[in-house]
Amino acid sequence: MYLSWLCLQLQSSHSPTSSSNSSSWLSSFLYFHPCESSSVLGPIPIPTHSFNPPTNTPPVRLPPHPLHLPSILGPPPFPNTALDFLPNLSPHTPLPEPITHTPTAPTLLPNPSPQPPLPEPTTHTTFAPGLLPNPSPQLHLLEPTPHPTIPSSPIATNAVPAICQIPNPHISSHPMTTRFKFGISKEKIFSTTTSLDYLQTEPPNYTIASKIPEWRATMTSEFEALQRQHTWSLVPPSPSQNLVGCRWVYKIKRATDGSVSRYKARLVAKGFHQQAGMDYAETFSPVVKPPTVRIILSLAAQNRWNLRQLDVSNAFLHGFLKETVYMAQPTGFVDEGQPSHVCHLHKSLYGLKQAPRAWFERFTSHLLTLGFTASVADASLFVLKQGSVIVYLLLYVDDIIITGSDSTVVSTIISQLSTTFEVKDLGPLRYFLGLQIDYKNAGFFVHQSKYITDLLTKFKMSDCKAVSTPIATSPVLSTSCSDSLADPTPYRSLVGALQYATFTRPDITFAVNRVCQFMHNPSFAHLVAAKRILRYLKGSLDKGILFQPGPLTLTAFTDADWAGDPVDRRSTSGITVFLGNNPITWMSKKQHTVSRSSTEAEYRSLATGAVELAWLRQVICDLGLYLASAPIMWCDNTSALALASNPVFHGRTKHIEVDYHFVRERVVRGDICLQFVSTDDQVADIFTKALPTPRFQLLCSKLLIDQNGCRSAPFAPPFLSSVKIGAGLWTIGRELERERTTGLACGERLSVK
């Protein structure tokens, strides 16, 4: 078929000559070399009559250059030199007689002796004698391929050229080339085994842990501790009992540098087997609040007190149960004498729904016997006063921070706690709930470098490119994104982990608040925004808070971004409070209702800040301390300040009457003092909106420091200390005018140093 097409192309592309008695040598070649094809029309018949060269056919001359087929048909099926073996035919050369086509007896063999009948091949070709160069007796039929292209492999000198190769009449059952046809075999691998180092990774179940001596030893130690505490007694089973299952849970305790500190195994009850009203009643148990921890750190830095850290072993085992609970015997420690008995629990166990509450009640009651008093504002804060000696104790489940004015009294209290509970004295406070505390000459530097590094590793962002801000200024995140995540669990896990990172990183508070608003239906754009926070943290691992000595005063900054959400047009409130020079609380919170004006949005922020200041004042009062002056709250909206200090615009404040009366009452009572600050110096601006890099870094310098740096404290101008509490804008204006006349530049704004 290729040669037929070639003939037509040559006849159409070269001009004929005037010789009438010449014939085409190519036509003669095609006559002596017919090629059958198994097309849909069947084999092409081969003429058997004598050859009569046409008399009026002009000769076809081959071009002097190699012949190239059109590129649309692909490469030619044979090399350009494949026609070199053809004899030089001319019009006067006598042509041999044609060969009769015999389908069952190909004429490729050198001796045309009688052969046994062969099955009719699907594709075959007949050649004239003398046209094959150096015929070889070893010539065999080639196996056919479904594709018409002949492989361009090198041709031996004693073999048939590529144009004349004959396919093998044998047809494979499957035309695809496989390894089996070429004798290639591979060993089948049904499974692979990965060996994990369970001394660096927690084992998932008891079967694996029981084979490792270190984990087996810690399980034995835990079981013996349960026996010493008389946690349960074995009783015969009963059909009326609601049996609770149990299992072993393993945890590797690490030091601040990431090395293994100890191995811990806990026997945990399967609390989901419990029934409400039958196995448990109350389950709530408080933990210490982050602002309370920062207040204690600030007071310890101001008074140069030592911070001690304690850990209670098997804390939940010390709580007494009020309900009757039955549990199965633990795996690996079944009593051989009574294997069918069950455990009647007398004390709480990890995993029980009421276990945290039972432990908190037991520990609280013991502290009260030692002379401590529980705080009204924070139930996990305990205060001990003995004359001029004062001791503070913070409880977070089984982790304890204790400090005080007398280290001897602190040591005595630790000894008294050790007589009742298994208390471990971990020495100076270094690592507490993911917080790293570094002791410096200026105070305590608190950061979360290890926690953030582990977070980057967990979400495979260790090698990410850092950015200068945690959230981009545009586009604004919204719920209109349609590409929802197929599995929102990783997004929710990441956002929850970022929330805890705000313990010492107020600079990411607004960004985390934004991504938290899409937990119900996160999209890919929201995931990118959450990972941008990780990229920012990657470039600022050394940032933290420095708790240093300073005056015992409360200073608050409040701000609002009016109608900042493009979807529901709700505003975002931003608040931060300083105790002396140290930030102790901050928040970025979306307002619950739509504000009709920027004044209303700012006023709602004032109300939120007033609530936070009232709670902080109560905590400080529970600590036995008293502020020398009322807390100062800075706001950059003059209308909101006028509304809080003077009974004006009553007709426009009916719908915010509760907030209006609350702030007004606090101002009149002298609990807070409202002051004006310029927008450029408003520290709370970082909690309300996404900021460009220069503005963001400026405000960060007032909140955070790095390992070797310092920040400037946001103190108010000195002359404002003489302003009467609750004086309002008019008194402030008179003070400003008086200062301008005594040396301040005209038009100078109140700035935060």
Distance CA 576, CA 559 (A): 9
614, pLDDT greater than 50: yes
Q: Which amino acid is at 103?
A: P
Distance CA 541, CA 452 (A): 7
> 407: closest CA among 383, 391, 396, 430?
391
Q: Which amino acid is at 534?
A: L
Per-residue pLDDT band for 650 (boundaries 50, 70, 90) equals low
Q: Cβ(537)–Cβ(569) under 8 Å?
A: no
Distance CA 743, CA 725 (A): 25
Helix (H) or strand (E) holding 381: strand 381-386
Pairwise pLDDT comparison (132 vs 517), residue with the higher score: 517
DSSP collapsed to 3 states, 230-241: CCEEEECCCCCC
Q: Are strands 632-635 and 673-676 parallel, antiparallel or unpaired?
A: parallel
Q: Cβ(58)–Cβ(16) under 8 Å?
A: yes
pLDDT digits (tens, 9 = 90+) for 462-514: 999 999 999 999 888 888 777 889 999 999 999 999 999 999 999 999 999 99
Instruction: Give CA angle at 553 (547, 559), nearest 5°.
Output: 90
Residue 282: both structure tokens together: 């109350």
DSSP string, 539-583: TTTT-BEEE----S-EEEEEEEETT--TTT---EEEEEEEETTEE
Task: Kindly state the average pLDDT of the residues 239-266.
Answer: 90
pLDDT digits (tens, 9 = 90+) for 162-197: 544 555 555 556 677 777 777 787 777 666 666 788
Q: Which residues of 182-213 are buried (b: 16+ CB within 10 A; e: fewer)?
A: eeeeeeeeeeeeeeeebeeebbeebeebeeee
Q: Cβ(504)–Cβ(433) under 8 Å?
A: no
Residue 139: both structure tokens together: 């010539």
569, pLDDT greater than 80: yes
Residue 689 DSSP symbol: S
Residue 724 sits at φ, ψ, to 5 deg, of: -65, 140
Output the pLDDT for position 194: 67
pLDDT digits (tens, 9 = 90+) for 291-320: 999 999 999 999 999 999 999 988 888 999
17, pLDDT greater than 50: no
DSSP string, 131-151: -SSS--TT--PBPP-SSSPPP
Q: Which amino acid is at 87?
A: P
Output the pLDDT for position 657: 73
Q: Cβ(253)–Cβ(263) under 8 Å?
A: yes
Q: Which amino acid is at 134?
A: N
Task: Kindly state the average pLDDT of the residues 625-639.
Answer: 92
30, pLDDT greater than 90: no
Task: Kindly state the average pLDDT of the residues 111-128.
Answer: 49
Residue 68: both structure tokens together: 């190239």
Pairwise pLDDT comparison (63 vs 277), residue with the higher score: 277
Reported in sequence order, the residue ranges of 397-540 that DSSP labels E, i.e. its strands, are 399-404, 423-428, 431-432, 435-440, 443-447
Q: Which amino acid is at 408?
A: T
- The rounded mean pLDDT for the chain is 78
Q: Cβ(471)–Cβ(511) under 8 Å?
A: yes
Distance CA 622, CA 700 (A): 31
pLDDT digits (tens, 9 = 90+) for 337-377: 999 999 999 999 999 999 999 999 999 999 999 999 999 99
Residue 615 sits at φ, ψ, to 5 deg, of: -70, -40
Output the pLDDT for position 557: 96
Residue 353: both structure tokens together: 């729904």
Spacing of C-alpha 153 from chain mean position = 54
pLDDT digits (tens, 9 = 90+) for 272-288: 999 988 889 888 889 99
Residue 393 DSSP symbol: E
Q: Cβ(348)–Cβ(319) under 8 Å?
A: yes
pLDDT digits (tens, 9 = 90+) for 199-244: 889 999 999 999 999 999 999 999 998 998 899 999 999 998 999 9
Length of the chain: 753
Spacing of C-alpha 340 from chain mean position = 46
> 558: closest CA among 504, 612, 627, 502?
612
Helices (H) and strands (E) in the chain, counts: 16, 21
Residue 481: both structure tokens together: 């994104």
Residue 552: both structure tokens together: 């015992």
Output the pLDDT for position 500: 96
147, pLDDT greater than 60: no
Q: At the fourth CATH level, which superfamily is domain 550-741? A: Ribonuclease H-like superfamily/Ribonuclease H (3.30.420.10)
Output the pLDDT for position 177: 78
Output the pLDDT for position 141: 42
Per-residue pLDDT band for 393 (boundaries 50, 70, 90) equals very high
Q: Count the alpha carbons within 13 Å of 576 in the hemisphere toward its beta carbon.
A: 24
Residue 592 DSSP symbol: S
741, pLDDT greater than 60: no
Distance CA 99, CA 267 (A): 95
Output the pLDDT for position 187: 74
Per-residue pLDDT band for 658 (boundaries 50, 70, 90) equals confident
Distant-in-sequence, close-in-space partners of 548: CB < 8 Å, separation ≥ 6: 301, 302, 442, 443, 581, 582
The percent of residues above 90 in pLDDT, for the chain, comes to 52
Distance CA 149, CA 167 (A): 12
Reported in sequence order, the residue ranges of 202-316 that DSSP labels E, i.e. its strands, are 232-235, 243-244, 246-254, 260-269, 307-312
Environment class of 660 (CB within 10 Å of its CB; exposed 0-12, middle 13-18, buried 19+) = buried
Pairwise pLDDT comparison (172 vs 544), residue with the higher score: 544
Q: Outline which parts of the chain fall under CATH 3.30.420.10.
A: 550-741
Per-residue pLDDT band for 656 (boundaries 50, 70, 90) equals confident
Distance CA 369, CA 360 (A): 14
440, pLDDT greater than 50: yes
Distance CA 66, CA 590 (A): 80
| Beta bridge mates, 575 | 558, 587
C-beta atoms surrounding 601 within 10 Å: 26
Q: Which residues of 61-78 are buried (b: 16+ CB within 10 A; e: fewer)?
A: eeeeeeeeeeeeeeebbb
What is the model's pTM?
0.68
Distance CA 295, CA 273 (A): 41
Torsion-angle region of residue 739: left (phi > 0), alpha (psi -120 to 50) or beta? Answer: alpha
CA dihedral 578, 582, 588, 589 (to 10 degrees): -50
Q: Count the alpha carbons within 13 Å of 712 in the hemisphere toward its beta carbon.
A: 12
| Beta bridge mates, 446 | 437, 545
